[in-house]
Amino acid sequence: MAKSRSYDKRPSVVVPDAGHGAAVRGWAAVAERLGAAIGGGAAGVLTVDAYPGVDLDEIAAALGRALPDLAVFGVRDAMKEPAAIEAMLARFLTTDRVFGYMAPFRMEEFFRPEGLAALRAAVREAAGRGPVAVIGVGAALVTPGDVLVLADMPRWEIQLRFRAGMPSWTCDNPGEDFLRKYKRGFFVEWRTADRHKLDLFDQADFFLDTTVRGDPRLAAGEAMRAAVAATTRRPFRVVPFFDPGVWGGQWMRREFELPAEAPNYAWGFDCVPEENSLLLDFGGVEVEIPAINVVLRHPKALLGERVFARFGAEFPIRFDFLDTIGGGNLSLQVHPTTDYIRQAFGMSYTQDESYYMLEAGPDAAVYLGLKTGVAPDAFFAAVEEAHRPGGELDVEAFVNRWPARRHDHFSIPAGTVHCSGSDCLVLEISATPYIFTFKLWDWGRVGLDGVPRPLHVDHGRGVLDPERDTAWVERTVLGQVRPVASGEGWREERTGLHELEFIETRRHWFTAPVTHETGGSVHVVNLVEGERATIESPTGAFAPVRFGFAETVIVPAEVGAYRVVPDTATQHATIRASVRL
């Protein structure tokens, strides 16, 4: 197999023609730039509008040290009372530990009009005496100021801060269960903040990155906007992140050279723009932004016009790794159907998925589909009984266990009971609504935090399709590889996803360059065989992008034609996903 210790864990996009000083690093340089922008010691208003999760105290303290005459105003006192906010959010948060309902709120709905008016008056009065800063989530609602800074934050870093005790934006809950904090972010806070951020994106004079505490980066507004737009005209990678889990394995730790502190690594998120970062290199100063910014700001160029018409400004394809080599089975689970996810959670499409085997040990297997003749009522009765103290579930009495080999590709349309067994490294190719997993059985385990992981048997009962049985799997899932085209040194196959799923996957085996065409849809490409390859433009429209084994590259729809070139004449393979049009 190909080795992957060349796996780049901090890929960056070099910004073309980044002028000198387009970005600066460190609080001294950031404060100097912002101080100059508001006129040094003269009266001027600096507005720092922040994404939930940004450390507002860090920003206020740093600016205060550099600009001792600066009067700093926060915005939290202008928000509605906690009880009023909780009442407003109750039906969207629900009482469930994991799932809520997608909320439609705008930023101004969280503030009291009279509170904003009072704060505006105080800022005007203070601005007559010297420089003023208004800092906080929603600060631009008070005033856009003379200089507007957008302080952003990737969702993965927010999750790490939640785990470390950071409270949610809309309530004081530092000790609350992480899953409930995440739910509040996913269904309410991040959606609200994204709408607000998009309103400010073209107005911002500067973009502030405080992802790494104590090491801020500041980019000029025009430079950032040009960089985000340029990203849609070339292939790029996002910054992957990795997380341990109760069933996690050791393959990624070894092959990707991940830190040894974690007991294992269960997940590797290599292409989830909603949560991954994007590193933009402005002449040697790397600025980290949420990758979702590219989706929100330039959805047609990135996704393709027809994909955007279908999904809106959402990236519909997810690539991630599931590592059970040296670990255990995933939870036995099922994903909601489109109708169910729309009715129950307000989502517009569901989590169809597939398992592509990047590596498989001798005992590798996938659990998939009910065994022929198993009645759903009997299965769920056994599941319920297994959840009683001391209970066990004989999974293989109800669910098929299929041996898995390297390069096998298992389709898992929503409504199909499934899980990866141990001894597998899975490249999971799926639609993006990624938290909607209804766990039915977790093999009697608790999470790494010692607390039982949440199960959703009632939801599972509502969506499991009894026709997805042994015969169905054999007929529609196993061995679904069809030749499509071939040429000198390459061949193309259609493999994987079921006809009910919107994602189209193609595998190319090649020892010579292969030309691809986006054809109006964003492409997501992973090198599943071979050490390294390069993506080139046939017309020189973008600089070559090298990528290695297991690395995922996003190719925007606007790129059009591109060529994948192997580094050597040995056998290489890519798996490519796009939206069926």
Summarize pLDDT for 260-278 with one digit per residue, the tens: 999 999 999 999 999 999 9
Best CA proximity match to 116, nearest among 160, 85, 77: 77
Summarize pLDDT for 476-531 with one digit per residue, the tens: 999 899 999 999 999 999 997 788 889 999 999 999 999 999 999 999 999 999 99
Cα gap 516→576, rounded to integer Å: 10
pLDDT of residue 498: 81
DSSP string, 244-288: --TT-BSHHHHHTT--SSSS-B-EEEEE-TTT-EEEEEETTEEEE
Cα gap 92→90, rounded to integer Å: 5
- Three-state DSSP class for residue 444: coil
Average pLDDT, integer, range 280-294: 97
Best CA proximity match to 493, nearest among 512, 479, 509, 478: 509
pLDDT of residue 4: 52
Share of the chain above pLDDT 90, in %: 91
Summarize pLDDT for 9-39 with one digit per residue, the tens: 999 999 988 777 899 999 999 999 999 999 8
Lowest mean pLDDT among 4-18, 88-102, 266-280, 546-560: 4-18
For residue 373, the tally of other CB atoms under 10 A from its CB is: 8
pLDDT of residue 41: 58
128 falls in which pLDDT band (50, 70, 90)? confident
Query: Quick one: tokens of 568?
Result: 């050597």
pLDDT of residue 497: 74
Strands 23-25 and 217-220 come out as antiparallel
Q: Quick one: CA dihedral 414, 415, 416, 422, positive or negative?
A: positive
Lowest mean pLDDT among 141-145, 177-181, 431-435: 431-435
Matching CATH topology for 267-272+275-280+301-476 and 481-579? yes
Task: Say if CB 502 and CB 318 are below 8 A apart.
Answer: no
pTM of the model: 0.96
pLDDT of residue 1: 47
Is residue 40 predicted with pLDDT exceeding 90? no
pLDDT of residue 20: 74
Summarize pLDDT for 352-364 with one digit per residue, the tens: 999 999 999 999 9
Best CA proximity match to 168, nearest among 193, 185, 186: 185
Helices (H), 298-420: 299-303, 305-311, 338-345, 376-386
Q: Which fold has domain 481-579?
A: Jelly Rolls (2.60.120)
- How high does pLDDT run on average in the chain? 95
Cα gap 418→331, rounded to integer Å: 9
Is residue 539 predicted with pLDDT exceeding 80? yes
pLDDT of residue 432: 82
Best CA proximity match to 562, nearest among 577, 546, 541, 578: 541
Where does residue 457 rank: exposed (0-12), middle (13-18), buried (19+ CB within 10 A)?
middle
pLDDT of residue 3: 52
CATH architecture assigned to 267-272+275-280+301-476: Sandwich (2.60)
What number does CATH give the domain 22-231? 3.40.50.300
pLDDT of residue 42: 64
pLDDT of residue 113: 98
Best CA proximity match to 422, nearest among 264, 260, 242: 264
Where does residue 394 rank: exposed (0-12), middle (13-18), buried (19+ CB within 10 A)?
exposed
pLDDT of residue 490: 98
Rounded (to 5) percent helix, strand, coil in the chain: 30, 30, 45
Average pLDDT, integer, range 103-114: 98
> What are the residues facing 490 on neighbouring strands?
487, 510
Cα gap 247→367, rounded to integer Å: 15
Sole residue written with tokens 């994903």? 335
Residue 94: DSSP 8-state: -
Q: Domain segments of the chain: what residues?
A: 22-231, 267-272+275-280+301-476, 481-579
Cα gap 93→281, rounded to integer Å: 38
Summarize pLDDT for 365-416 with one digit per residue, the tens: 999 999 999 999 999 999 999 999 889 999 999 999 999 999 999 999 999 9
Backbone angles phi, psi at 31, to 5 degrees: -65, -40
The two counts, helices (H) then strands (E), for the chain are 16, 31
How distant, in Å, are the alpha carbons of 143, 153, 194, 252, 554 from that of 290? 24, 6, 11, 24, 15
Task: Say if CB 395 and CB 332 are below 8 A apart.
Answer: yes
Query: Quick one: tokens of 343?
Result: 């009715």
pLDDT of residue 239: 98
Count CA within 13 A, CB hemisphere, residue 123.
27
Cα gap 127→121, rounded to integer Å: 10
Average pLDDT, integer, range 276-284: 96
Cα gap 195→109, rounded to integer Å: 12
pLDDT of residue 441: 97
Starting at the edge strand found earlier in the chain, the sheet holding 45-50 runs 23-25, 217-220, 206-209, 147-152, 45-50, 132-136, 71-74
- Answer with the residue of higher pLDDT: 30 or 6: 30
Summarize pLDDT for 184-239 with one digit per residue, the tens: 999 999 999 999 999 999 999 999 999 999 999 999 999 999 999 999 999 999 99
CA dihedral 154, 239, 178, 258 (to 10 degrees): -150
Starting at the edge strand found earlier in the chain, the sheet holding 438-441 runs 399-403, 365-370, 418-420, 332-334, 438-441
Cα gap 178→167, rounded to integer Å: 10
Q: Which amino acid is at 58?
A: E
